[in-house]
A and B are shown apart, each in its own frame.
Chain A
Amino acid sequence: MASITLSNVRKSYGTTHVIHGIDLTVHDGEFVVIVGPSGCGKSTLLRLVAGLEEITEGTVEIGGRVVNHLEPKDRDIAMVFQNYALYPHMSVRQNMAYGLKMRKMSKADIEKRVNWAAGVLQLSDLLDRRPGQLSGGQRQRVAMGRAMVRSPAAFLFDEPLSNLDAKLRVQMRLEIKRLQQELRTTSLYVTHDQVEAMTMADRLVVMNAGVAEQVGTPMEIYERPRTVFVAGFIGSPNMNFLPARLRGGMLELGQGLLVECPNAPAGTDGRDVTLGIRPEHLVVAKQGEPADIQFVVHMVEPLGAETLVHGRFNSVETNVALRLHGTPNVWRDAHLPLRLPPDALHLFDPASGVRLTE
């Protein structure tokens, strides 16, 4: 049981700076997910916490103790790797016991702990097999077991599900989350998959180019993305972005196309903005209801439970996606009257990408 605190953590390789000062606290028992596109530095950040890379600047504390200069083994952490990193020449039992053996634990205690972890993870029948004889999901569980037996202060996960097929990923996602809730072990989890991030995290860190763009609960981030990058990265399909101009409480999209925008912040009148609106927040106006905008359909993707519709607003050159419930009767070149609910409009500064709306 411990918290992890990162203060102004930076990492450079020579003159290449990959992490530009990250501040983050993972509270005791909390599950924090770091999400970002590949190359954003999220894995590097995790490796800095694990001690597999040297910290260039700043401090990492685990359980109130600065660990910058401690070896990985002395940091009281366990890590689950993307490729599982199971020792191929050892049985499942030996794999799980290895860390305990290195810590000179007694044979009886090792046996007890391995059996406990194997029981929890339903690996009891597989203890004498080699990793090569296991399926992907089973290997993943062994990797979890190897982390669990040590009862470390924190779990570090480096994209542990990305080598699994889609179905198994959903299943293991639930399993890891359930385990973490039972064990209440502080966890830092890295992934590039935003669905994994949203579903598993107590709190989310969205990283981009070595910077933490936003830290918050999944819903905070979904509802109030702090930057265009965060808004575009979280949510599927992506948020629609349109260039617009604020004019007397209205948003001007393209030529003469005005939409009401009551929540525009004060003092922004007359300036250019980036309008962001999620595909699921665009509503087709019912018969008799006034429409804010006309939408021309270019392509329809029916998915059963929902339908994605791609097209454009009248006289606006940018592609826009809609997400409609069920399988509505929509076809190519159809014109849909849409409503833009005022509270679904996100305004961003076009230059800095920072959110303008409260």
Chain B
Amino acid sequence: MHKNVTFKNPWLPYLLVLPQMAVTIVFFIWPAAQALKQSFLVEDAFGLSSEFVWFDNFVALFTDPAYYEVMINTALFSIGVTVVTMVVAMLLAVMADGVLRGKRTYQLLLTWPYAVAPAVAGVLWLFLFNPSNGVLALALRTIGYNWNHYLNGEQAMALVITAAAWPRIAYNFIFFLAALQSIPRSLIEAAAIDGAGPARRFFSVMFPLLSPTTFFLVVVNLVYAFFETFGVIHTVTQGGPGTATEILVYKVFKDGFIGLDLGSSAAQSVVLMVIVIGLTAIQFKYIERKVQY
């Protein structure tokens, strides 16, 4: 059967894709082009004139040791968020999969945090860990652990990772649970008869079958940690103490809107753009490598 759909009017298909194209151009391509243009310019202090400087902004960026520090922060932060999110989500999904009574309620409750905006999640965790009156901070103090993320950079990093991972766990949980439920029961039973205990069954049968989902989530979580966690950082630490929790996106904002160094900020955006393009390419390239059922 011939499957090509043909339109009588040759302009109709273009007309139909026009709205999508318009949205893409106005909200994605145009700002990206602006950023790209800006990254080659240096503006004077009053914003009255700008000068084309070729790659000077990038050179300045990559020769600045502070930028590498932020890169390391970003790496720590995004790996932390991804690992915490996925380990907790998988653990919850495996447990939810085994629940028999009140299964629906349990699953529904676990998906709720996904509805919480990152900035709100940040504020929530900030309240819990406020060094002077946060419930969890006080609890930690009573067992002899001095919590003050305003002074301690490592604690601040742990806090932003927790706050950023928390709403994300729900999202990962949904995917893991769906993947677990799509594994035929009889496979697990066959493994049980073959002599594998619960742990062995998980690692030699279930986990390999979850690998397409796991891979997808790794990429999606990295993208999230890189680009969508601005709200968390801004509400919880503003990148502090010092630059302990300053990540790439936050530096773009800080240099551009607080430091008003638009050229450098734009150059950083371009770097981020390259990273996101890379991550997307990896995902597209390997997403096809699925386990065959």
Contacts and interface: CB of A to CB of B under 8 A. Distances in A.
Given A88-B292, A89-B208, A132-B293, A103 B195 contact: yes
A1 B194 CA distance: 18
Interface in B169-195: 184, 186-187, 189-195
Nearest to B196: A102
B35 interface: no
Contact of A88 (B192, B200, B291): B291
A16 to B, nearest CB: 15
Given A87-B187, A87-B205, A102 B192 contact: no
Nearest to B183: A88
Given A87-B205, A89-B209, A130-B292, A72 B189 contact: yes
A50 B189 CA distance: 10
B193 A88 contact: no
A259 interface: no
Given A98-B196, A102-B200, 16 more contacts: A50-B193, A52-B189, A72-B192, A73-B193, A73-B195, A82-B186, A83-B186, A85-B186, A85-B187, A86-B190, A88-B292, A89-B208, A98-B194, A130-B292, A132-B292, A150-B194
Contact of B196 (A73, A82, A150): A73
Contact of A73 (B194, B204, B205, B291): B194
26 contacts: A50-B189, A50-B193, A51-B193, A71-B192, A72-B192, A73-B192, A73-B195, A85-B187, A85-B189, A87-B191, A88-B292, A89-B208, A89-B211, A89-B291, A98-B194, A99-B193, A99-B194, A99-B195, A102-B194, A102-B195, A102-B196, A130-B292, A132-B293, A146-B190, A146-B194, A150-B194
A325 to B, nearest CB: 44
Nearest to A71: B192
A78 B195 CA distance: 10
B185 to A, nearest CB: 9
A18 B293 CA distance: 32
Contacts of A34: none
Interface string A179-195: 00000000000000000
Contacts of A229: none
Interface string B261-293: 000000000000000000000000000000111
Interface string A81-104: 111011111000000001100110
A79 B193 contact: yes
B291 A72 contact: no
B1 to A, nearest CB: 25
A131 B194 CA distance: 17
Contacts of A103: 195
B195 to A, nearest CB: 4
Contacts of B186: 81-83, 85
Contacts of A72: 189, 192-193
A46 B118 CA distance: 51
B174 to A, nearest CB: 23
Interface residues of B, number: 20
B204 to A, nearest CB: 8
Given A73-B196, A132-B293, A98 B191 contact: yes
Contact of A78 (B193, B196, B209, B211): B193
A321 interface: no
A320 B244 CA distance: 88
Contacts of B204: 98
Nearest to A78: B193
A77 interface: yes
Given A102-B200, A132-B292, A132-B293, A81 B192 contact: no
Looking at A78, A81, A86, the one whose CB has the most chain B CB atoms below 10 A away is A81
Nearest to A103: B195
Interface in B184-225: 184, 186-187, 189-196, 200, 204-205, 208-209, 211
A286 B293 CA distance: 60
Interface string B44-73: 000000000000000000000000000000
Interface in B1-19: none
A52 B204 CA distance: 19
B190 A81 contact: yes
B288 to A, nearest CB: 14
A52 B192 contact: yes
Contacts of B209: 88-89
A148 B95 CA distance: 34
A86 B188 CA distance: 10
B210 to A, nearest CB: 10
A179 to B, nearest CB: 19
B207 to A, nearest CB: 10
Interface in A61-86: 71-73, 77-79, 81-83, 85-86
Nearest to A73: B195
A194 B204 CA distance: 38
A62 to B, nearest CB: 13
Given A85-B187, A87-B187, A87-B205, A77 B193 contact: yes
Interface in B236-266: none
